[in-house]
């Protein structure tokens, strides 16, 4: 760095040149170490078109490797592989890969089946080799990811040199071309069909012609000589001697060998990936240096050059590297940001052919535009799964859960290994662990690749991790695969129960109407006039209205019906019961008024009875008014009481006011029962006390039984219970009070005379 034979720290001893930057090594370990060193002097470093301008605090990641790891994760997500083995090298790169891949799989419900760490670089021990092989043999994962540095390639290949393992699908990092150098048959069998990410290819103008004219005769340095001896298996005395398997020494190189005779197919068809990246890196440094040169004060060329050499520091070049964008002579656009060049990778399929050749086939591409924008392209027409499979293999810990089931964690197993549990009632699941493609506009791009099928995608994985609860108005089907609308439950006119109650209500209404007509026709007869015929007519009319008000309880509930039905029923039924009470008191007053000196004579007549009915009715009206004002009934859809139905019902608003109204109706009924019971032995042919006693007994029995029956039912059954209570209690009043009178009118008319 100091430019002198003897190192002089912190001094620049270059006489004819000025150090402005470095082109770093390819392996991340040496590249990162060099970056740490030169960052102290703020020199920029270029490697594979990734530019480091490290100053102040050292960057913690290497963008190309991060992008490569991200590309592997996106491939795993795209094909839905959630149960994956991982082999890494024992260095920072390997452990970063483990963290990145594990986190990526976890984001879609996947996990690592095993992680094997390759700890040895050159010669791997038998114990360590068996340790890794056992993990590969035992795993149920079909897909295995290899992410190791190039210096671990020899140790890795020695694992498979003498052992054979079950067929797996391998995804590797960009170290894979190093593996293809080794010629062990078992390696070629095991790794045949591997998928790897390689740095994107590019063309260097004139490099092909230079490559084929390259020879030690023109470039007589140690690196050229060693490479030549390795490629052609010949010796270069006195520098290099190549030993043959027989123990002898290989023939000497002539220097006339041609590169066209060397097997370099593994490096590509004249699109040398690493070479192209080094070319791009040097081009970027040169471009930045030119921009720095152009920014110097205007002068002639030599003046600007002197200024550049004397006054400009290397760290000033960093400013011109940031956000550098340029176009190479081949038309490739290269752009850099604060982190370096956004990496692009080719997805390459490797085939080891029977004749010993290695075939590469590009099957896709991965671009990392920025942290949040990624592009994955898969060539649908390429042979991605050969040679051991004709379709996409599955790599999951267990079979995916079928629709209608959900995942259930198994204790002691990884998170992506699970059992399948049927969804509960009211829940559904109609997805499986299969993946689907979710295209986003910001990642859509089309390459002109003829008729080849390219899928630009951003991945989204669907699974059945949880059952979805149906909405409160829906239920799950028997298979638990979809939600269906619940049936609506209410007492309908078309239901058997609703139709029956409607018919009964009309029959009783007609019966009460007929009785009223009979009373009007026989208005002047003694049996009608007895016990106040006006109260009898009022009672009959109120009973008719009671029968009709039950129709408000039948049919689809509405808000108006909910408000009216309890109010109308409460007031009308109170009139009926208070009329019965008034009739009973009329009988008692009439018999007691005949006693000498009785003060009850002034109460004999219809006025007291009418006033009593009005007062009782006003009390019911006040209760109903307060009820409607404070806690009015409202329409409610009950989705909880029954799993398969939605109960449309009228919520009473306040249970307290509801039972207050019922209790208020019961008070005059109890008083009527007591009064009628006391007056049942009065000596009068037309005494109604006995009939009223029986009617009140029926009334009270019905409504006492109503309370527990009402509270223990829901939906249409609850409404039917209330209708039945109204009809039966009203029918009890109609039958017990008026049936004996009609019997006398039609069957014993001789009893319906004044003389009798």
> Collapsing DSSP states into helix, strand and coil, what is residue 56?
coil
Contact 545, 571 (CB under 8 A): no
Tens digit of pLDDT for each residue in 331-360? Answer: 776 666 555 554 678 899 988 888 777 888
Tens digit of pLDDT for each residue in 630-680? Answer: 989 999 888 888 888 888 888 888 888 888 888 888 888 888 888 777 766
Q: In which band, very low, low, confident or very high, does the pLDDT at 113 lie, cut at 50, 70 and 90?
A: very high
Of the ranges 408-412, 486-490, 498-502, 733-737, which one carries the lowest mean pLDDT score? 408-412
- Averaged pLDDT, 459-479: 75
Q: What is the CATH number of domain 496-751?
A: 1.20.1070.10
Contact 305, 18 (CB under 8 A): no
Q: What pLDDT, on the 0 to 100 scale, is given for residue 599?
A: 60
Tens digit of pLDDT for each residue in 604-621? Answer: 655 777 888 888 889 889
| The pLDDT of residue 499 is above 90 | yes
Q: What pLDDT, on the 0 to 100 scale, is given for residue 7?
A: 59
Is residue 300 classed exposed, middle or buried when 0-12, 13-18 and 19+ CB atoms within 10 A define those classes? exposed
Percent of the chain with pLDDT over 90: 14
- Give the C-alpha separation, 694 to 318, whole Å: 109
Mean of per-residue pLDDT scores for the chain:
78
Look at domain 1-209+268-397+431-458 and name its CATH class.
Answer: alpha beta
| The pLDDT of residue 566 is above 60 | yes
- Give the C-alpha separation, 371 to 70, whole Å: 10
- Top pLDDT among 168 and 201 is at 168
Name the segment(s) of the chain with CATH classification 1.20.1070.10: 496-751
DSSP one-letter string for 612-627: HHHHHHHHHHHHHHHH
Q: What pLDDT, on the 0 to 100 scale, is given for residue 46?
A: 64
Q: What pLDDT, on the 0 to 100 scale, is given for residue 31?
A: 58
- Give the C-alpha separation, 332 to 7, whole Å: 40
Q: How many CB atoms lie within 10 A of CB 242?
A: 17
Nearest to 403 by CA among 453, 463, 451: 463
- Give the C-alpha separation, 354 to 651, whole Å: 83
Name the segment(s) of the chain with CATH classification 3.40.50.2300: 1-209+268-397+431-458
Q: Hey, what's the torsion of the CAs at 45, 46, 47, 52, to 10 degrees?
A: 60
- Find residue 114's DSSP bridge partners: 85
- Give the C-alpha separation, 110 to 88, whole Å: 18
Tens digit of pLDDT for each residue in 573-612? Answer: 889 888 888 887 777 776 666 666 566 666 665 577 788 8
Percent of the chain with pLDDT over 70: 75
- Top pLDDT among 461 and 104 is at 104
Q: What pLDDT, on the 0 to 100 scale, is given for residue 749?
A: 81
DSSP one-letter string for 310-377: HT--GGGHHHHHTT-EEE-TTS-EEE-BTTBPPPEEEEEEEEE-TTS-EEEEEEEEEEEEETTEEEEE
| The pLDDT of residue 420 is above 70 | yes
Query: What are the respective helix, strand and coil percentages of the chain, to the nearest 5?
Result: 45, 15, 40
Q: In which band, very low, low, confident or very high, does the pLDDT at 436 lie, cut at 50, 70 and 90?
A: very low
Q: What pLDDT, on the 0 to 100 scale, is given for residue 76?
A: 93
Q: What pLDDT, on the 0 to 100 scale, is given for residue 434?
A: 44
| The pLDDT of residue 134 is above 50 | yes
- Top pLDDT among 623 and 322 is at 623
């Amino acid at each position: 760095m100091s430019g002198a034979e003897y190192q002089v720290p912190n001094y620049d001893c270059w006489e004819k040149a000025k150090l402005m930057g470095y082109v770093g090594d390819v392996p991340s370990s040496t590249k990162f170490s060099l970056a740490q060193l030169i960052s102290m002097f703020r020199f920029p470093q270029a490697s594979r078109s990734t530019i480091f301008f490290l100053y102040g605090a050292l960057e913690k990641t290497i963008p190309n490797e991060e992008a490569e790891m991200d590309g592997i994760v996106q491939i795993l997500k795209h094909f839905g592989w959630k149960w994956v083995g991982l082999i890494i090298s024992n260095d920072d790169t390997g452990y970063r890969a483990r963290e990145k891949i594990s986190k990526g799989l976890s984001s879609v419900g996947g996990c690592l089946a095993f992680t094997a760490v390759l700890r040895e670089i050159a010669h791997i021990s038998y114990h360590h080799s068996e340790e890794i092989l056992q993990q590969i043999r035992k795993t149920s994962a079909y897909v295995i990811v290899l992410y190791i540095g190039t210096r671990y390639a020899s140790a890795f290949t020695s694992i498979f040199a003498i052992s054979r393992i079950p067929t797996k699908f391998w995804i590797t990092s960009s170290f894979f071309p190093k593996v293809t150098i080794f010629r062990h048959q078992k390696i070629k069998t095991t790794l045949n069909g591997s998928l790897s990410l390689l740095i994107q290819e590019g063309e260097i103008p004139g490099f092909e012609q230079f490559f084929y004219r390259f020879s030690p005769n023109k470039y007589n340095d140690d690196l050229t000589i060693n490479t030549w001896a390795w490629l052609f298996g010949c010796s270069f005395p006195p520098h290099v001697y190549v030993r043959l398997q027989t123990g002898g020494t290989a023939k000497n190189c002539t220097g006339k060998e041609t590169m066209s005779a060397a097997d370099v197919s593994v490096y590509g068809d004249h699109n040398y990936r690493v070479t192209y990246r080094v070319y791009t890196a040097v081009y970027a440094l040169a471009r930045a240096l030119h921009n720095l040169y152009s920014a110097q004060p205007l002068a002639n060329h030599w003046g600007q050059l002197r200024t550049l050499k004397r006054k400009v520091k290397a760290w000033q070049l960093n400013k011109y590297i940031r956000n550098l964008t340029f176009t190479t002579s081949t038309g490739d656009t290269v752009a850099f940001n604060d982190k370096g060049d956004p990496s692009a990778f080719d997805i390459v399929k490797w085939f080891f052919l029977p004749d010993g050749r290695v075939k590469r086939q590009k099957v896709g591409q991965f671009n990392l535009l920025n942290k949040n924008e990624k592009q994955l392209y898969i060539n649908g027409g390429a042979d991605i799964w050969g040679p051991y499979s004709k379709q996409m293999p599955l790599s999951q810990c267990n079979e995916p859960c079928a629709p209608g089931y959900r995942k259930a964690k198994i204790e002691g197993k990884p998170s992506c290994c699970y059992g399948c549990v049927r969804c509960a009632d009211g829940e559904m699941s109609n997805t499986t662990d299969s993946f689907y493609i979710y295209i986003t506009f910001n990642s859509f791009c089309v390459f002109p690749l003829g008729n080849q099928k390219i899928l630009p995608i951003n991945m989204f994985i669907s699974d059945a991790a949880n059952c979805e609860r149906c909405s409160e108005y829906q239920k799950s089907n028997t298979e638990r695969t979809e939600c269906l609308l619940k049936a609506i439950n209410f007492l309908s006119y078309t239901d058997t129960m609703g139709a029956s109650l409607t018919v009964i209500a009309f029959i009783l209404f007609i019966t009460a109407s007929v009785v009223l007509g009979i009373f009007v026709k026989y208005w002047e007869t003694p049996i009608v006039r007895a016990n106040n015929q006006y109260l009898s007519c009022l009672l009959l009319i109120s009973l008719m209205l009671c029968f009709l008000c039950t129709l408000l309880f039948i049919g689809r509930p509405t808000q108006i019906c909910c408000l009216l039905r309890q109010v109308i029923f409460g007031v009308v039924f109170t009139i009926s019961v208070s009329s019965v009470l008034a009739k009973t008191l009329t009988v008692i007053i009439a018999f007691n008024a005949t006693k000498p000196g009785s003060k009850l004579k002034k109460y004999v007549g219809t006025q007291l009875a009418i006033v009593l009915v009005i007062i009782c009715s006003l009390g019911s009206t006040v209760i109903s008014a307060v009820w409607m004002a404070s806690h009015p009934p409202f329409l409610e859809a009950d989705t909880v009481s029954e799993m398969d139905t939605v109960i449309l019902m009228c919520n009473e608003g306040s249970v307290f006011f509801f039972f207050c109204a019922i209790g208020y109706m019961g008070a005059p009924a109890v008083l009527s029962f007591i009064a009628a019971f006391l007056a049942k032995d009065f000596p009068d042919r037309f005494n109604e006390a006995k009939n009223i006693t029986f009617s009140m007994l029926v009334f009270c029995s019905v409504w006492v039984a109503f309370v527990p029956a009402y509270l223990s039912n829901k939906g249409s059954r609850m409404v039917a219970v209330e209708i039945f209570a109204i009809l039966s209690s009203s029918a009890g009043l109609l039958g017990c009070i008026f049936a004996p009178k009609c019997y006398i009118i039609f069957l014993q008319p001789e009893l319906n005379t004044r003389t009798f």
